[in-house]
Structure 1
Amino acid sequence: MRIVLVGPPGAGKGTQATRLAEKLSIPHISTGDLFRANISRQTELGKLAKSYMDAGNLVPDEVTIAMAKDRMEQPDAENGFLLDGFPRNVSQAEALDELLTTEDMRLDAVLDLEAPEDEVVKRIAGRRICRKDSSHVFHVTYSKPKTEGVCDVCGGELYQRDDDAEDTVRKRLEVYHTQTEPIIDYYKAQGLVVTISALGAVDEVTGRAMEALKRDGDGA
């Protein structure tokens, strides 16, 4: 299957992308991973992307698209892939369509993880990270530490990242609504969008997504 995964910040895209890709035996291709891989390998595209990032500028669509094209042409993506964070806007979605058409491929589904804005803000703004080990993550509502402000694992101080502050989260959501959400309508016009609720336990959401993709695939 060839799938695009979309949803607002805090909807659990990263977690679900990893789980779904594993269950479907296809590679999980995320924009962040593409940038990191190209920059660490010092590819021409990586050097170009880094030059924009170092200057504090956004990486142009054509660079992101070229990285995605290169990754989708790798042997492990022959039977499909799951795109996470790309396309990020309608112009990238149009470029992806052109690319797939050229390669005689097509998307099977666009999985839209839906979550109410207040829930998204609550999820992200409530996160607390351990200063000693950032892999230790707690939540003021869903995963409280035994002692407030103290990591259960190593005793490190728990803090809220600047990116997780409520004002910042709401700004990120504004960017999502303005830039990325329009691709849902773009793909709805093609009959590709499958919308599921991102609320509930991780396993529940994964099961919901697999069932929705199976139904969509059967109907295709």
Structure 2
Amino acid sequence: MRLIFLGPPGAGKGTQSQRLVTRFDIPQLSTGDMLRAAVASGSEIGRKAKAVMDAGGLVSDEIVVGIVADRIEEADARRGFILDGFPRTVGQADALERMLKEKGLTLDAVIELKVDEDALIGRIEKRAAETLARGEAVRKDDNPDVFRKRLQEYKAVTAQLTPYYRERGLLSEVDGMAGIDEVTRQINDILAHAEA
């Protein structure tokens, strides 16, 4: 099972990914984790990434796709994987599609968690207020202003992937505002069709 989850920050992608990791015994691949591992390994692509990062630059799509290509060759990803945080742009999606095709692979599904952004902001504000009320520091991600900025970035760039994957017949939408178990049920229904 090879999947991509789409949806804005706070939509529940991480929660649902963890349930699928357990169900299918496949890894959730975070680009940040893969990048750090590639640099630590000293692989050729890792050295390229390190040089760019050390110079203060952003790692190119070519390098990120190379890191993903290397990672999905590892034994735990042979049965499939869930991509987390990648692709973020249509250019990355094109590069991913080409790389998978070269390996004789395709995506089984792209699942978008549809959410009410105002409700998400409300959740973050409530969580931040509760954290402060307990006398604890608010996580950076739980700062409503930071969260709004992340939502704007998502809408400006990553939301373009919705029509991209819809045109390819890969996109399925799930009501991300439903309860966690109901979201899981909807995802399982989509994956049952993808496996058929």
Structure 1 residue ranges (4+ consecutive) displaced by more than 6 angstroms after TM superposition:
none
Contact (CA 8 Å) 1:26, 1:76: kept in 2 or not?
yes
Please report how far the alpha carbon of residue 51 of structure 1 lies from its aligned counterpart in structure 2 after TM superposition: 4.2
List per-residue Cα deviations over 1:64-89 (Å, max 9, x = no partner): 11110001111222221111111111
Aligned equivalent of 1:81: 81
- Show the 5 A alignment for 1:43-82: 43-82=43-82
- Show the 5 A alignment for 1:162-173: 162-173=140-151
Please report how far the alpha carbon of residue 190 of structure 1 lies from its aligned counterpart in structure 2 after TM superposition: 0.8
SS class of match (1:159) = coil
Query: Separation in 1 of the partners of 2:120 and 2:68?
Result: 28
Aligned equivalent of 1:149: 133
SS class of match (1:8) = coil
Instruction: Give the % identical residues.
Output: 42
The answer to which of 3-12 and 17-26 deviates more is: 17-26
Contact (CA 8 Å) 1:196, 1:212: kept in 2 or not?
no
SS class of match (1:126) = helix
Please report how far the alpha carbon of residue 203 of structure 1 lies from its aligned counterpart in structure 2 after TM superposition: 2.5
Aligned equivalent of 1:92: 92
The answer to which of 87-96 and 44-53 deviates more is: 44-53
SS class of match (1:200) = coil
Query: Separation in 2 of the partners of 1:12 and 1:83?
Result: 14
Residue ranges of structure 1 left out of the alignment (5+ in a row)? 129-139, 151-156
List per-residue Cα deviations over 1:149-191 (Å, max 9, x = no partner): 32xxxxxx31223443222211111111111111111111110
Aligned equivalent of 1:137: none
List per-residue Cα deviations over 1:5-35 (Å, max 9, x = no partner): 1110010111211111221222211112212
In the superposition, the TM-score normalised over structure 1's length comes to: 0.80
Please report how far the alpha carbon of residue 42 of structure 1 lies from its aligned counterpart in structure 2 after TM superposition: 4.0
- Show the 5 A alignment for 1:173-212: 173-212=151-190
Query: Separation in 2 of the partners of 1:208 and 1:6?
Result: 15
Contact (CA 8 Å) 2:65, 2:99: kept in 1 or not?
no
The answer to which of 162-171 and 205-214 deviates more is: 162-171
In the superposition, the TM-score normalised over structure 2's length comes to: 0.88
Q: Provide closer, same or farther for how the CA distance between residues 116 and 97 of structure 1 changes in structure 2, counting only shifts above 3 A.
A: same
Matched, 1:123 2:123: yes
SS class of match (2:157) = helix
Q: Provide closer, same or farther for how the CA distance between residues 39 and 124 of structure 1 changes in structure 2, counting only shifts above 3 A.
A: farther
Aligned residue pairs, count: 196
* RMSD of aligned Cα (Å): 2.1
